């Protein structure tokens, strides 16, 4: 705990003789004048800045190996729910769109072969019937050819959504690395709590001796 102290000084003139008891009393009086002020305890973050500073390169390397490990290394634990929440959402989106794409792809392939072979059926076991909306049939969808075209459209849409989900996952991964690097670089950067804005009117005279009123804007750190 840093303390500031003010110590009084005394000087004995060479011509003045003092006994040992008087010197002891004088020393005691001077020592008692020491005052301790501003003994404010440091916060945990301030203590970290004094004794430890993260390495930006190591933070990026750890985050590249295991997402979120760079934030743990920087001791920014509050960011972990954001990082892992983003990754979980992206993984869920990739999984869901991939399943949709596979279903539409299989249904399109099966209905294509059955139309070519003349074996088109309303059997619900068939993939193209299994993914029909509830209460709909191939006929109500506009016929086999129209339904096949719709399956192709849905397949392409699911493919685009899956690719977009993968792209977003890569961006989240890159942002986690950038955050780990910047956080390590700015670890000891702080803004004082005494930052304040002061706006005061002032009255002064210019070079032509004319009285003018101005507004002074001051930012104190």
Assign 99 a pLDDT band (cuts: 50, 70, 90). Answer: very high
Q: Is the four-CA dihedral 178, 182, 187, 190 of positive or negative sign?
A: negative
Domain ranges of the chain: 1-41, 53-185
Higher pLDDT among residues 134 and 46, named by residue: 134
Q: Does 70 or 140 have the greater pLDDT score?
A: 70
- How many Cβ atoms are within 10 Å of 161's Cβ, its own excluded? 17
Tokens of 90: 């992206």
This prediction's pTM: 0.63
pLDDT higher than threshold 60 for residue 1: no
The answer to which of 5-19, 35-49, 173-187 has the lowest mean pLDDT is 5-19
pLDDT in tens, 185-194: 988 776 555 5
So what's the pLDDT on residue 91? 96
**DSSP 8-class letter at 165:** H
Q: In whole angstroms, what is the distance from residue 153 CA to residue 139 CA?
A: 18
Q: Classify strands 211-220 and 196-205 as parallel, antiparallel or unpaired.
A: antiparallel
Give me the pLDDT at residue 141, please.
Answer: 87
pLDDT, greater one: 13 or 122: 122
pLDDT of 133: 84
What's the CA gap between 150 and 113, in Å, rounded?
16
What residues have CB less than 8 Å from 219, skipping those under 6 apart?
195, 196, 197, 198
In degrees rounded to 5, what are phi and psi of residue 205? -115, 130
């Amino acid at each position: 705990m840093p303390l500031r102290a003010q110590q009084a000084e005394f000087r004995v003139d060479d011509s003045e003789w003092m006994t040992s008891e008087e010197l002891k009393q004088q020393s005691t009086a001077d020592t008692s004048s020491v005052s301790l002020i501003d003994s404010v305890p440091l916060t945990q973050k301030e203590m970290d800045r004094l004794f430890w500073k993260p390495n930006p390169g190591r933070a990026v390397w750890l985050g590249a190996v295991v997402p979120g490990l760079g934030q743990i290394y920087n001791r920014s634990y509050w960011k972990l729910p954001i990082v892992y929440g983003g990754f979980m959402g992206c993984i869920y989106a990739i999984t869901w769109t991939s399943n949709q794409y596979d279903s539409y792809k299989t249904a399109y392939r099966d209905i294509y072969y059955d139309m070519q072979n003349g074996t088109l059926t309303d059997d619900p076991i068939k993939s193209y019937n299994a993914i029909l909306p509830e209460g709909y049939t191939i006929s109500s969808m506009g016929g086999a050819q129209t339904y096949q075209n719709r399956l192709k459209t849905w397949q392409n849409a699911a493919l685009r959504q899956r690719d977009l989900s993968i792209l977003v996952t890569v961006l989240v991964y890159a942002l986690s690395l950038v955050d780990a690097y910047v956080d390590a670089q700015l670890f000891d950067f702080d803004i004082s709590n005494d930052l304040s804005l002061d706006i005061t009117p002032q009255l002064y005279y210019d070079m032509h001796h004319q009285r003018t009123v101005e507004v002074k804007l001051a930012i104190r750190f």
